[in-house]
Amino acid sequence: MGNDGGSIPTRRELVREAAKAPSVTQVKEAQREQLEHYWTTCPLSHKPLLRPIVSDAVGNLYNKDAILKYLIGAEDDDISSKADCDEILQGRVKGLKDVVELKFEISAEDESSTKEGERTGEKWICPVTTKQLGPSVKSVYLVPCGHVFADEAIREMKGDRCLQCNEPYTEDNVIIILPTKETDKQQLMSRGQRLAEQGLTHSLKKLSGSKKRKKHGNGESSAAVTEEPASKAKIETSNKPTSTSSSGIKNASTAMLTAKVLEEEDERKKRQKMGRSENLQSLFHSDKSKQKMKDGDFMTRGFSIPANARR
């Protein structure tokens, strides 16, 4: 080598230094950034988290309308593809019974200044400690009521009833929001498996088609499969807020949100159908266009062979 005007590389230039392991500070910072993203963004729609917000069995947060669109199979640009949603949810959400709607306490300043439909900047606080909930505060919610608190408030109070609605709960039904420790994640997954074995969902509601034991007169018990057929969903119109909607959903807010999602889906299909029909009609001539072609000269209407022409 040499005498060619080039340079001979040294070993230091050829051998690169091994990648250094990230420091504890870097790991914590990356974890905080990831937590902040999931505290503010729905992973299905990639839009800001806005009430109503729901959580699955492992404490992940979603916009409720995104979950509804996924469940009804809506082909909408507002959410990711079905394959991506399946990968995110990993089979944890098969119906609304598999999620719990969370009830956040909003700070008094935000509640007075925030207008309807403009809730992007609202702050969620713990009703006991008044600390702002987010990536810097370990937060939990109770099942089945869904009220959200700081973890330290629940641990210090050591009660068995919700501090907001006085509904009873057990220690097993205190769900950590977006857990970071592997032990917490495994605990939530084990809870989901135990509930499934008992025929219950994450919201402590019975699974559709679960076995229910009935006692006969002689004291013996037999397992009978109870299913909820689709024919049970009846259309009822009433002025009561808890009346059953056309989709069979008793909760008024959920029924309204479901109706809105279905209406958007129908409107999208109508627009697609209208676009297809217009494209199809453009392939054919109307009566006016035929008359215009007939009255035109041979340059505009084309050449036609007379009927009595000789071959």
Range with the largest mean pLDDT of 2-11, 75-84, 110-119, 206-215: 75-84
pLDDT reported for residue 309: 57
Residue 28 to residue 194: CA distance in whole angstroms: 32
Find the range with the poorest average confidence among 49-63, 65-79, 114-128, 164-178: 114-128
Q: Where is pLDDT greater, at 24 or 98?
A: 98
pTM, two decimals, is 0.65
pLDDT reported for residue 266: 74
pLDDT reported for residue 218: 47
Residue 37, pLDDT above cutoff 80: yes
211 strand-pairing partners: 225
Q: Where is pLDDT greater, at 291 or 244?
A: 291
Task: Report residue 228's pLDDT band, with 50, 70 and 90 as the boundaries.
Answer: very low
Residue 265 to residue 70: CA distance in whole angstroms: 12
pLDDT reported for residue 299: 52
Task: For residue 45, count CB atoms less than 10 angstroms from its CB and return exposed for 0-12, middle for 13-18, buried for 19 or more.
Answer: buried
pLDDT reported for residue 148: 97
pLDDT reported for residue 30: 87
Mean per-residue pLDDT over the chain, rounded: 77
Residue 284, pLDDT above cutoff 90: no
Residue 154 to residue 140: CA distance in whole angstroms: 8
Give the mean pLDDT of 106-132: 73
Tell me the chain's radius of gyration from C-alpha atoms.
31
Residues 6+ apart with CB under 8 A from 52: 63, 64, 65, 101, 253, 257
Q: Where is pLDDT greater, at 260 or 203?
A: 203
E strands in the chain: 53-55, 61-63, 100-101, 105-106, 124-125, 139-142, 148-150, 174-176, 211-215, 221-225
C-beta separation of 66 from 41 below 8 A: no
Q: Where is pLDDT greater, at 278 or 119?
A: 278
Q: Where is pLDDT greater, at 96 or 7?
A: 96
Q: Residues 80, 86, 88, CA angle at the centre, nearest 5°?
A: 75
C-beta separation of 52 from 101 below 8 A: yes
Residue 293, pLDDT above cutoff 70: no
**How much of the chain, in percent, has pLDDT values that exceed 70?**
65
C-beta separation of 160 from 169 below 8 A: yes
pLDDT reported for residue 11: 74
Residue 283, pLDDT above cutoff 60: no
C-beta separation of 102 from 146 below 8 A: yes
Among positive and negative, which fits the CA dihedral 243, 252, 116, 68?
A: negative
Residue 169 to residue 153: CA distance in whole angstroms: 15
Q: Where is pLDDT greater, at 280 or 163?
A: 163
